[in-house]
Amino acid sequence: MVPHFDKYSGVLVDIFYDHFLAANWNTYHKISLDIYTQDVYDLMKRNTHHLPEHSKFMLPYMIKANWLYNYGYFEGIQSALNGLSRRTKFNSGMENGVKYLQQNYKLYEIEFAEFFPDIIGYVNTVLLE
């Protein structure tokens, strides 16, 4: 939970975790993040007919700004949070999320490092079923 962001705190935690995954990508995957993200974008372009309308609309912007890769940097997170904040109906304050992450970086980094192996284990269990 991220205090001061009310119902948007879950969104911030998700983006914070995206940051730690991107920033530490080589710990979790053999393929470099820049190659992997291009592969994901190519896959999404080939399968746009399966995407929801909003995702179809956002995909060119996502690719142009290389969102997945740039989550590894504060500037990329800031850009994402600015966009989300503009699109919320309420005053979310999400545009201040990077400052909060920077102030509490070690706390979230440790939390991610403890949590992410559990996600990997769960996914591997489900894939084996």
Residue 34 included in any domain: yes
For residue 81, how many other CB atoms are within 10 A of its CB? 22
For residue 12, tell me if it sits in a domain. Answer: yes
Distance between CA atoms of 3 and 116, rounded to whole angstroms? 22
Condensed to tens digits (0 to 9), the pLDDT of residues 40-81 reads 999 999 999 999 999 999 999 999 999 999 999 999 999 999
C-beta contacts of 39-47 below 8 A and 24+ residues apart: 40/68, 41/68
pTM: 0.89
Range of the domain at 87: 6-128
Domains contained in the chain, number: 1
Interatomic CA distance for residues 118 and 113, integer angstroms: 9
Kindly tell me if the per-residue pLDDT of 38 is higher than 90.
yes
Q: Does residue 119 form part of some domain?
A: yes
Distance, CA of 56 to CA of 35 (rounded, Å): 22
Q: Is the pLDDT confidence value at 4 over 80?
A: no
Q: Tell me if 1 is assigned to some domain.
A: no
Q: Where are the beta strands (DSSP E) in 1-129?
A: none
Whether 83 is covered by a domain: the verdict is yes
